[in-house]
Amino acid sequence: MKDRAHDDAMADIFRNDPAYAIELLNSILEDGDQGELLIALRQMTKAFGGASKVAEKAQVNGTHIYRTLSKNGNPEIGNLSAILKAMGLRLAVQPLQQHAVHA
């Protein structure tokens, strides 16, 4: 029996449980670990049909998606927003529990 690659297994999990994908991304964003964020986004890109399909939906060059999500990638907010939008997600700002903004 051949072992599946970790990225393939995670892509299946994200495909089958989008709520988990959202929870994981929010956790990674809260921790601020860009490396982990890029890994999760690469896995999610695989879950959503691969870089070419996500690039087409995001109206971004496919090569740019690979570069943006690479180990040394540094996604700009516009590209990150486009990639997430292609996956049916968006960036959002939320108050910290202990630092809630009061009007």
Task: Return the closest-CA partner of residue 36 out of 3, 10, 54.
Answer: 10
Identify whether the C-beta of residue 86 lies closer than 8 Å to the C-beta of residue 50.
no
pLDDT digits (tens, 9 = 90+) for 53-77: 999 999 988 888 888 899 888 888 8
3-state helix, strand, coil in the chain (%, to 5): 65, 0, 35
Put simply, whether the predicted model's pTM sits higher than 0.75 gets the answer: yes
Token pair, residue 61, equals 């060059």
